[in-house]
Structure 1
Amino acid sequence: MRGHWLALGLMLALAGGASLHAQSVPAAASTVHAVDLPAVSVSGVQPGPGLWKVSRNGHVMWVLGLVPAMPAQVQWRSDEVAAAIAGSQELLEPPHADFEVKAGFFAKLFLLPSAYAARKNEDGRRLEEVLPAPLYQRWQALKARFIGHDNGIERWRPMFAAMELEKRARKAYGLTGDAGVRNAVDALAEQHGVPRIHADYKVVIEHPRDALKAFRKAGPQDVECFARTLDSVEHDLPTMSARADAWAIGDIEALRGMPDSQARDACVQALSAAGFARQLGVADVPAKVVATWVAAAREALANHQQTFALLPIDELLRPGPYLQALRADGATIEAPDDVGPDAGEASPAKPASGG
């Protein structure tokens, strides 16, 4: 999960609808300056990684891991994935939090100015006034490199400014999100008549005006999130490019050796501990997102001979709480490179041809 999703989901929901997968609030147009950047080396049609195999009581779930950043010039196609989807009775979509605001259309229109104002620092303060001087100097250098001249962003909360910087930097490095892969998977499911199951955890915001006030008065202490995101942009983007390449060509061993950035965890901690999250009762949303997806996966394994599922690849490489919960139920988990915790000396797992 993206580290900034809780605040962003709340704000965009108040502005007319949002989800965990939203990437950024709108920003003023500016020029991206990308000089001397290492190019993403992989291009053309690529298969992506293999599939994790989760099996229990003779039933199988094939899991494709997604990376948050993909080479923009890669066309993804996997015969293995196509065969697995064709032989499945259900496609389980990735974990998702859906924010719903209890307000009518016109009420949401009136909320828009307040929602976008909430991304700004209180009392009109600039980043220079709320950040330590050394951290602000780093921001200035990275802003000049990836964003350019934009005075408006200087009044944004550090977390939202960092989000915009990361988005621009990824674009400059030739990286994009995972939408292309997910769309291709959905198209395969539609082609073969496989039902798609959305294991969404829904967050209902009963009183949106009060929610915005709570966010503005007790928002996240996001300097640590800001600093970690700057660390990621300065040091992790070359690794992120290499991870994207490794994903595209299916190099699981390389992916295991390139852990994800710590910026996400720092931002999740800042959001979960914030006063607004406690006031709104959404501090435990990350755990409930996990629980909702795991419950759907358990049901799929119990009811279907074969299921296809999507998860962030870092949840598979660790393995994270999703696979841990299924393993605790007695499921056997095999990694595509046969070095998974339960794989032993088994031969590479291949999708079944039918249900």
Structure 2
Amino acid sequence: MRPWTVLLCFALAAPAALAAPTQVPPSAATATAAPVPADVPLLAPVVVSGVVSGPGLWKVSKDGHVVWVLGTLSPLPGHIQWESREVEQVLAQARQVLPEPRIKLKADIGFFGKLFLLPSAYGARKNPDGKTLDQVMDASTYQRWLALKRKYIGDDRGIERWRPLFAAQELYRKALKANGLSNDGGVSGAVAALAKQDGVPETPVEYRVEIKHPGDALKAFKAAAPSDMECFSRTLDAIEHDLPAMTARANAWATGDLAALRGLPDSHRRDACVTAITSAGFAHQLGLDDIPAQMEVVWLAAARDALAKNDTSFAMLPMEELLSPSGYLARLKAQGYAVEAPQGLDDAPAAAGSAVAPAAAASTTH
């Protein structure tokens, strides 16, 4: 990882949630828990495991050309083996794969410059003036942090000098691992392996940000750093209270229950953390304040290009962009493209019908 990405990596990570490591067979259905009295402790939710197929695919088409889109989610159950026959069939026919959009950082700096920059990057991770977490937040919030830190991180004194933004990300990462969830359940790696096996090229979808003077960028971060207590508090909330719903979302994805997934609440923790970055003064100086809009522009252009060139293409997008009435697929629909949701989700905001993956490759195996 290039050292200046330390400032941004947490904001670019996929949304995460908590789950318990208890396992059930993959065929087990995910049920919605009935309300319980406030004084009755909640049992840890059960996490799906084993071989799962995940959700069906969205279909975007125009003039006989199609892009099949897989909605991704993070986190997912950590003990699943994702095998989608539908995706295998599509990739056997596809001419192009579009991965999830991401930021591509480029900096004008040499090898020795990187070595000297690294300590500065880690310095930016710390609170200014050597302050500790208990000195930059109220006592009640700090006590919540201490309780969760003891549970998931342990006796780490160094993290007490980190900015709340970075401390929150580390706590969240540790909590996910401890509770049996993974970043993406191995889905992205499985797609890449299938595409390589079928000889389907992957076209990165990237919003490029050039940082000509990384040292100045770090100084800008220290001088106009984000206000990160909202992100910190939302992270504590997610770990303490959002476990059942967030685990249910992961299970719903794994079992392909899109109707349940759409109805389950998100903690919006990631939104708070990304906003902390994009609204900070340094973000404007680096051209990072309009990241969401720019990434949408880049992906839509790539999708239109794939639809113009290929009979069949495959893409991956975060699930919220598929379910949202203002997401990427809704934008394509407004531009005249036909958008069909998977079976069982005919009334999705971006849907125009029920999509069924092509059967022409039904005999193909991997």
CA distance in 2, matches of 1:342, 1:281: 30
CA distance in 1, matches of 2:149, 2:9: 27
Deviations 1:259-291 (A, max 9, x none): 322111111221111011112222112211111
Deviation of 1:347 after TM superposition, in Å, equals: 4.8
Deviation of 1:14 after TM superposition, in Å, equals: 7.0
- The TM-score with structure 1 as length reference comes to 0.88
Alignment match, 2:349: 341
Which is further off, 36-45 or 206-215? 36-45
Deviation of 1:13 after TM superposition, in Å, equals: 3.3
- The TM-score with structure 2 as length reference comes to 0.85
Deviations 1:211-261 (A, max 9, x none): 000101111011111111111111123322211111111011110111322
Q: Which amino acid aligns with 1:13?
A: T
Aligned residues: 335
- Give 5+ residue unaligned stretches, structure 1: 1-8, 24-33
Q: Is the 1:53–1:63 contact (alpha carbons within 8 Å) kept by the matching residues of 2? A: yes
Per the alignment, in what secondary structure is the counterpart of residue 265 of structure 2? coil
Deviation of 1:110 after TM superposition, in Å, equals: 0.6
CA distance in 2, matches of 1:349, 1:334: 9
Say whether 1:264 aligns with 2:270: yes
Deviation of 1:85 after TM superposition, in Å, equals: 1.1
Q: Is the 1:19–1:97 contact (alpha carbons within 8 Å) kept by the matching residues of 2? A: no
Alignment match, 1:351: 358
Alignment of 1:1-355 (within 5 A): 11-13=3-5, 38=44, 40-178=46-184, 180-336=186-342, 337=344, 338-341=346-349, 343=351, 346-351=353-358, 353=360
CA distance in 2, matches of 1:233, 1:166: 7
Post-superposition, which runs of at least 4 consecutive aligned residues in structure 1 deviate over 6 A?
17-20, 34-37
Q: Which amino acid aligns with 1:51?
A: L
Alignment match, 1:31: none
Q: Is the 1:70–1:177 contact (alpha carbons within 8 Å) kept by the matching residues of 2? A: yes
Q: Is the 1:13–1:101 contact (alpha carbons within 8 Å) kept by the matching residues of 2? A: no
Q: Which amino acid aligns with 2:271?
A: D
CA distance in 2, matches of 1:13, 1:235: 30
Change over 3 Å in CA distance of 1:342–1:41 after alignment to 2: closer
Which is further off, 184-193 or 313-322? 313-322
Per the alignment, in what secondary structure is the counterpart of residue 196 of structure 1? coil
Deviation of 1:12 after TM superposition, in Å, equals: 4.3
Q: Is the 1:14–1:111 contact (alpha carbons within 8 Å) kept by the matching residues of 2? A: no
Per the alignment, in what secondary structure is the counterpart of residue 208 of structure 2? strand
Q: Is the 1:64–1:310 contact (alpha carbons within 8 Å) kept by the matching residues of 2? A: yes
Alignment match, 1:28: none
- Give 5+ residue unaligned stretches, structure 2: 15-20, 23-41, 362-366
Which is further off, 310-319 or 42-51? 310-319
Q: Is the 1:42–1:71 contact (alpha carbons within 8 Å) kept by the matching residues of 2? A: yes
Q: Is the 1:86–1:353 contact (alpha carbons within 8 Å) kept by the matching residues of 2? A: no
CA distance in 2, matches of 1:230, 1:88: 43
Q: Is the 1:228–1:266 contact (alpha carbons within 8 Å) kept by the matching residues of 2? A: yes
Which is further off, 285-294 or 122-131? 285-294
Q: Which amino acid aligns with 1:274?
A: A
Q: Is the 2:70–2:317 contact (alpha carbons within 8 Å) kept by the matching residues of 1? A: yes
CA distance in 1, matches of 2:325, 2:312: 21
Deviation of 1:321 after TM superposition, in Å, equals: 3.0
Deviation of 1:18 after TM superposition, in Å, equals: 6.9
Q: Is the 2:107–2:210 contact (alpha carbons within 8 Å) kept by the matching residues of 1? A: yes
CA RMSD of aligned residues (A): 2.5
Over the matched positions of the two proteins, sequence identity in percent amounts to 54
Q: Which amino acid aligns with 2:156?
A: D
Q: Is the 1:334–1:341 contact (alpha carbons within 8 Å) kept by the matching residues of 2? A: no
Deviation of 1:193 after TM superposition, in Å, equals: 1.2
Deviation of 1:348 after TM superposition, in Å, equals: 4.6
Per the alignment, in what secondary structure is the counterpart of residue 49 of structure 1? coil
Change over 3 Å in CA distance of 1:20–1:94 after alignment to 2: farther
Q: Is the 1:220–1:270 contact (alpha carbons within 8 Å) kept by the matching residues of 2? A: yes
